[in-house]
Amino acid sequence: MQPDVVAVSIKGVMPTANGCAVFLGNDAKTFVIYVDHSVGNAIQMTLNGVKKDRPLTHDLIGSIFLGLGARLEHIVVNDAREGTFFARILLRMENELGKKIIELDARPSDSIVLALQQKRPIYVARAVFDTVEDMTEILERVLRQQAEEGESSSSDEDK
């Protein structure tokens, strides 16, 4: 991949008062994007491999891609302004008419769900990655706290 993007993965999804915090990053840095509850749930369900009785919106979009002969290549969180992130979805279409690359503007939250469902890479523009606040320590603290709470509640059940 080009040097102007950084590969990231989902490090955690945490509920907040107004939605969900999605932690993305790599070994060097972790940052957070806030999303609404429904998309946060869709990300968590996809990460957990939850089978749904009926297709959700992101499932429908994936089916449309399949029906059109389009394949999600990757997504890029390409900009951040005043706390709002922006993303692009890159699709490759191959059919009887030829080959075509399509780039679509999208919310990062929707893009992330689609990339996870299609098992495709998630990238962040280097300029965005370099400017976001590193939240690695906060994520580690929250995960440690959750693990401790899980241990104490399971030891309470044993009593």
Residue 93 CA to residue 24 CA, distance in Å, equals 28
Cβ neighbourhood burial of 123 (10 Å; 0-12, 13-18, 19+): buried
Q: Is the pTM of this model over 0.95?
A: no
Q: Is the pLDDT of residue 33 over 90?
A: yes
Q: Is the dihedral of CA 151, 136, 21, 75 positive or negative?
A: negative
pLDDT tens by residue, 65-122? 888 889 999 999 999 999 899 999 999 998 777 899 999 999 999 999 999 999 999 9
Residue 93 CA to residue 71 CA, distance in Å, equals 6
Residue 99: strand, helix, or coil = strand
Q: Which domains does the chain have, with CATH numbers?
A: 5-158 (3.10.690.10)
